[in-house]
Amino acid sequence: MSHKERRHKEREDMKQMIADAAVDLIIKDGYENMSIRKIANIIEYSPTTIYNYYPDKAAIISYMVEGVQNKIVAECKRIITENSSLSADKVLILCINAYLQCIVKEPQMGKAILLSGAVLFTEEDNDEDMIDSGKALMSSLLQKGEAQGMFRKLDENITLIILTSLLGFALSSIENQLYALDDYDHLVSVFSDMILRGILNNDFFNGRVECL
């Protein structure tokens, strides 16, 4: 490992340690009561040191959100690439499942994001032309399905509506610890199927939907 790579790793490790301390504080005391000074006390560094990594506590939340978003996007891109032969509806289901599973893999982080009031892939994520945009990936899948006739004519806001619905289900799963249930995968499957049925062009499938 080069000196530059080592320095980068050390910086990322420090940012993660700060974020982990912030998660603990948010869950314990709430976002409004979380402060740079309290984080500094937990990790035993000075507040000045923390400011070298984050300008304020909102930046720590942004770091958490970006990390979760990047994991979701990376997994969905992998799914899309590895399943290029599948129809749009099948790939959409796989991506929806990946979204929901990625968030609950780190329930404490997800809960902290929820309590902070931050959200994932909302109207603020306007850079839909970028390949790494979560909204762009979802929009692309929906447009593909619509072009193939699998999905009905969709409203221009459908991407945001679906992503918001997914976020609500995932964060509710964390808040109510549904992710710990033995049948959580089944709950995800039912929710995914509900979303898909809401956009399917049933005339195209002629009964195939019962097999989904």
CATH 1.10.10.60 location in the chain: 1-55
The answer to whether 23 and 108 have CB atoms below 8 angstroms apart is yes
Q: Return the SS3 of 200.
A: strand
CATH 1.10.357.10 location in the chain: 58-211
- Which of 75-79, 118-122, 203-207 is predicted most confidently? 75-79
d(CA 163, CA 138): 8
d(CA 45, CA 204): 61
CATH superfamily, region 1-55: Homeodomain-like (1.10.10.60)
Say if residue 68 is exposed, middle or buried (CB neighbours under 10 Å; 0-12, 13-18, 19+): buried
Q: Which pLDDT does position 50 carry in this prediction?
A: 96
The answer to whether 100 and 207 have CB atoms below 8 angstroms apart is no
Q: Which architecture does CATH list for 58-211?
A: Orthogonal Bundle (1.10)
| In the block, residue with structure tokens 């080069």 | 2
Q: Which pLDDT does position 26 carry in this prediction?
A: 94
pTM score, two decimals? 0.79
d(CA 108, CA 161): 25
What confidence category does residue 124 fall into, taking pLDDT thresholds of 50, 70 and 90?
very low
What confidence category does residue 110 fall into, taking pLDDT thresholds of 50, 70 and 90?
confident
